[in-house]
């Protein structure tokens, strides 16, 4: 800050200098004539200097201030370093008095830098009626308040002149009603961006801002507007589908999609998070599929396939938006899923067997007489379907997963991340990214807990080889099965736990207890012994070199008509440059 009081200090310095100079002349030369001449010269110089400084100050600092000097609270002799500092000083002063000041106009110099600014009350000016059907009003009442800020090159700073410091209206009672007063500061905008990226709800963001600054008068609409501007700047003029594909590519999702052949609108979208691939490779044993609704603004059904870990934690395998809930849409999702099963089945022989079973399950259509189906439904299924399903399921490994409640629970958790029902697909994918990462955190925590925690109810001597080597969930199930040991034998055990979960059943546990032996680790299915997640590995002898396929594509491409070439090139660019895709968003 530069203070005009420095001029006073300069005067004092000059007068001291004159006094010392006169004293030296009297003491050494003792010549009165020279002393008087020297004194007059210095006096003329000082008088000329002070007059020039006074004129400069009057012209540059006090223009328009004559009436307000010493009266107006906005009069200041300070020179401020920057326009932001000037605006901050004025706004803080007026805010404390109950008024809001805005910039009306500004001028720039030859370098394009603002050098002149006019500040007025937010109720200044006159309202111009516009031809519009929108119901609107105005707060403008031609308030005369006006300040002028100017950049002074000699001071390398800004000065303020008071043109009029009077208002024709009383001070504001509630600053929340003034849009300019509600504006966020730069540090507050950054905080809103950070909290928005962490999926904090707008009303919670507003509460945090007010905790940081008790003078903050922003409202919920302020947060929504800031988030809208943030998203618009991030999109940078891209279409919704370009933003979506760019995010999927940036976060390394595995994607499949289909479009309408006529309108080129997106119809189905399948995507897998890269972390989900690693978890799925460790636990490919059970898949549970279900659809939910009201998750996006396009009203597209959302399909989620989940699995379960050895510690009973749920993880998402893949996600899909489908155009409808017809059988063809679900087949498309399962076909996309099958393409990415190779990483889970390294051996080629096992892969061939898997494909054969998959085809029988998902592709082959088996004809059954409708009368037979009606008979089964009326006589058996309506009365005993739960029993039939339970018996059939428990004869196969399911690791305790008998219903779809697990995936339904994941729908509920995911919707908490979404906050609202009309999410765009791009925002949805961002929520999915955070959702999957939180799943991995919970899974890792459960793994470590299974390795280091020893529950009191697990302190059976027969569990000595299992503690720390199998999941706590498996030990809990064995403890529950031990309660049946004295109620059954090998003839009526049923071996339900062995068949459905890969754990020793009551009759097997009875043999271990009677012999005093520990339950061997090999008697526990590998599913329960897996307490870590390893990165995905390629399939045995898998050849992913695409040179031959690229040559085949090139030959096929060269043989096509121009229209077909354009279509093929567009599809190719959608793969290699997803952020520039020409796919259109679904109809709303």
The per-residue DSSP string of 68-109 comes to TTTT-TT----BBSSHHHHHHHHHHHHHHHT--EEEEEEEE-
Average pLDDT of the residues in 492-506: 86
More confident residue, 330 or 375: 330
pLDDT tens digits for 449-476? 999 999 999 988 899 999 999 999 999 9
The conformation of residue 584, written as its DSSP 8-state character, comes to B
Chain-centroid distance of CA 80 in Å reads 39
Rounded CA separation 252/432 (Å): 13
Task: Tell me: pLDDT of 357 over 70.
Answer: no
Q: How many CA atoms lie within 13 A of 76 on its CB side?
A: 18
**Cβ-proximal residues to 340 (8 Å cutoff; 6+ apart), any chain:** 254, 272, 277, 318
More confident residue, 64 or 413: 413
Q: Are 73 and 165 in contact (CB under 8 A)?
A: yes
pLDDT band at 273 (very low <50, low <70, confident <90, very high): very high
pLDDT tens digits for 22-31? 666 555 555 5
pLDDT tens digits for 377-416? 776 666 655 555 555 667 778 888 888 889 999 888 888 8
Chain-centroid distance of CA 487 in Å reads 55
Percent of the chain residues topping a pLDDT of 70: 74
pLDDT band at 62 (very low <50, low <70, confident <90, very high): very low
How far the first Cα of the chain sits from its last, in Å, is 58
Give residue 68's pLDDT: 44
pLDDT tens digits for 257-271? 988 888 889 999 999
Give residue 387's pLDDT: 54
Rounded CA separation 452/436 (Å): 25
Give residue 366's pLDDT: 53
pLDDT band at 568 (very low <50, low <70, confident <90, very high): confident
Instruction: Please report which helix (H) or strand (E) contains residue 304, including its range.
Output: strand 302-308
Rounded CA separation 95/174 (Å): 11
Please tell me the least confidently modeled range out of 63-67, 353-357, 574-578: 63-67
Q: Are 126 and 27 in contact (CB under 8 A)?
A: no
Please tell me the least confidently modeled range out of 13-17, 58-62, 321-325: 58-62
More confident residue, 364 or 40: 40
Average pLDDT of the residues in 552-566: 76
Residues in the chain: 588
Q: Are 540 and 347 in contact (CB under 8 A)?
A: yes
Average pLDDT of the residues in 106-115: 81
Rounded CA separation 292/407 (Å): 10
More confident residue, 110 or 430: 430
Written as six digits, the tokens of 347 are: 């051996």
Task: Tell me: pLDDT of 71 over 70.
Answer: no
Q: Are 201 and 128 in contact (CB under 8 A)?
A: no
Rounded CA separation 503/509 (Å): 10
Written as six digits, the tokens of 85 are: 């500092």
DSSP string, 220-278: HHHHHHHHHHHHHHHHTT--HHHHHHHHHHHTT-EEEEEE-TTT-BEEEEEEE-HHHHH
Written as six digits, the tokens of 86 are: 């000037």
CA nearest neighbour of 474 among 413, 533, 519: 519
- For 420, the 3-state DSSP assignment is coil
Give residue 339's pLDDT: 80
**Cβ-proximal residues to 255 (8 Å cutoff; 6+ apart), any chain:** 245, 248, 269, 270, 271, 272
CA nearest neighbour of 143 among 99, 177, 176: 99
Sign of CA dihedral 540, 541, 545, 548: negative
Q: Are 245 and 584 in contact (CB under 8 A)?
A: no
Give residue 451's pLDDT: 93
CA angle 268, 585, 203 (to 5 degrees): 100
Q: Which residues pair with 161 in a beta bridge?
A: 148
pLDDT tens digits for 277-286? 889 988 988 8
pLDDT tens digits for 295-328? 888 889 999 999 999 999 999 999 999 999 888 9
pTM for the structure as a whole: 0.66
Task: Tell me: pLDDT of 564 over 80.
Answer: no
Rounded CA separation 447/279 (Å): 13
Please tell me the least confidently modeled range out of 72-86, 337-351, 450-464, 569-583: 337-351
Rounded CA separation 481/507 (Å): 10
Percent of the chain residues topping a pLDDT of 90: 18
Q: Are 101 and 149 in contact (CB under 8 A)?
A: no
Please tell me the least confidently modeled range out of 20-29, 125-134, 340-349: 20-29
pLDDT band at 523 (very low <50, low <70, confident <90, very high): very high
For strands 146-152 and 114-121, give the pairing.
antiparallel
Mean pLDDT of the chain: 79
Rounded CA separation 493/479 (Å): 16
Task: Tell me: pLDDT of 1 over 50.
Answer: no
For strands 101-108 and 114-121, give the pairing.
antiparallel
Written as six digits, the tokens of 505 are: 């059943």
Rounded CA separation 580/486 (Å): 68
More confident residue, 563 or 268: 268
pLDDT tens digits for 427-439? 888 889 889 999 9
CA angle 189, 195, 197 (to 5 degrees): 105
Give residue 2's pLDDT: 41
Task: Tell me: pLDDT of 21 over 70.
Answer: no
pLDDT band at 176 (very low <50, low <70, confident <90, very high): confident
Give residue 440's pLDDT: 93
pLDDT band at 15 (very low <50, low <70, confident <90, very high): low
CA distances from 136 to 100, 143, 172, 224, 549 (A): 21, 20, 21, 20, 63
pLDDT tens digits for 225-248? 988 888 777 777 788 888 888 888
Rounded CA separation 181/175 (Å): 6
Rounded CA separation 239/582 (Å): 9
More confident residue, 90 or 367: 90
Task: Tell me: pLDDT of 531 over 90.
Answer: yes
Task: Tell me: pLDDT of 293 over 90.
Answer: no
CA distances from 67 to 4, 54, 101, 434, 501 (A): 19, 17, 21, 62, 92
């Amino acid at each position: 800050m530069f203070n005009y009081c420095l001029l006073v200090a300069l005067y004092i310095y000059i007068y001291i200098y004159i006094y010392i100079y006169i004293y030296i002349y009297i003491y050494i030369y003792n010549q009165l004539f020279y002393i008087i001449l020297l004194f007059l010269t210095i006096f003329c110089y000082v008088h000329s200097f002070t007059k020039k400084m006074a004129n400069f100050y009057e012209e540059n600092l006090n223009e328009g201030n004559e009436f307000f000097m010493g009266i107006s609270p906005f009069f200041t002799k300070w020179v401020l370093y920057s326009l932001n500092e000037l605006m901050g000083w004025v706004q803080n002063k007026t805010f404390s008095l109950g008024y809001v000041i805005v910039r009306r106009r500004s001028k720039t110099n030859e370098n394009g830098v603002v050098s002149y600014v006019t500040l007025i009350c937010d109720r200044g000016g006159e309202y111009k009626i516009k031809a519009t059907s929108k119901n609107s009003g105005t707060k403008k009442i031609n308030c005369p308040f006006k300040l002028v800020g100017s950049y002074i090159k000699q001071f390398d700073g800004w000065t303020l002149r008071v043109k009029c410091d009077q208002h024709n209206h009383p001070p504001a009672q509630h600053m929340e009603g003034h849009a300019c007063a509600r504006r966020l500061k730069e540090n507050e905008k950054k905080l809103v961006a950070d909290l928005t990226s962490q999926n904090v709800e707008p009303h919670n963001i507003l509460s945090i801002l007010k905790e940081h600054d008790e003078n903050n008068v922003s409202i919920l609409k302020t947060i929504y507007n800031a988030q809208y501007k943030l998203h618009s700047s991030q999109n940078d003029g891209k279409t919704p589908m370009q933003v979506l594909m760019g995010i999927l590519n940036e976060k390394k999702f595995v994607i499949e999609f289909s479009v309408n052949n006529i309108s080129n609108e997106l119809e189905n979208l399948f995507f897998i998070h890269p972390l989900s691939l690693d978890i799925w490779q460790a636990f490919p044993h059970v898949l549970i599929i279900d659809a939910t609704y009201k998750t996006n603004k396009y009203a597209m059904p959302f399909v989620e396939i989940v699995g379960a870990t050895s510690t009973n934690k749920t993880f998402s395998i893949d996600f899909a938006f489908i155009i409808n809930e017809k059988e063809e849409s679900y087949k498309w999702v399962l076909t996309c899923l099958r393409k990415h099963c190779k990483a889970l089945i390294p051996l080629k022989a096992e892969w061939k067997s898997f494909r054969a079973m998959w085809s029988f399950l998902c592709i082959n259509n088996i004809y059954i007489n409708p009368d037979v189906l009606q008979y089964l439904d009326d006589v058996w299924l309506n009365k005993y379907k739960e029993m039939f399903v339970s018996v059939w399921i428990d004869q196969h490994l399911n690791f305790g997963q008998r219903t779809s409640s697990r995936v339904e629970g994941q729908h509920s958790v995911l919707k908490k991340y979404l906050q609202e029902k009309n999410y765009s697909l791009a925002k949805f994918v961002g929520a999915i990214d955070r959702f999957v990462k939180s799943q991995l955190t919970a899974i890792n925590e459960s793994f470590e807990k299974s390795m280091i925690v020893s529950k009191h109810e697990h302190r059976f001597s027969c569990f000595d080889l299992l503690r720390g080597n199998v999941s706590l969930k498996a030990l809990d199930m064995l403890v529950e099965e031990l309660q049946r040991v004295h109620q059954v034998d090998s003839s009526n055990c049923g071996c339900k736990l062995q068949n459905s979960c890969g754990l020793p059943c009551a009759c097997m546990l009875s043999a271990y207890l009677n012999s005093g032996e520990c339950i061997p680790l090999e008697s526990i299915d590998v599913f329960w012994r897996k307490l870590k997640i390893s990165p995905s590995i390629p399939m045995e002898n898998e050849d992913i070199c695409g040179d031959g396929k690229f040559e085949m594509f090139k030959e096929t491409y060269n043989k096509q008509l121009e229209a077909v070439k354009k279509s093929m090139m567009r599809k190719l660019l959608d793969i290699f440059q997803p952020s520039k895709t020409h796919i259109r968003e679904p109809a709303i």
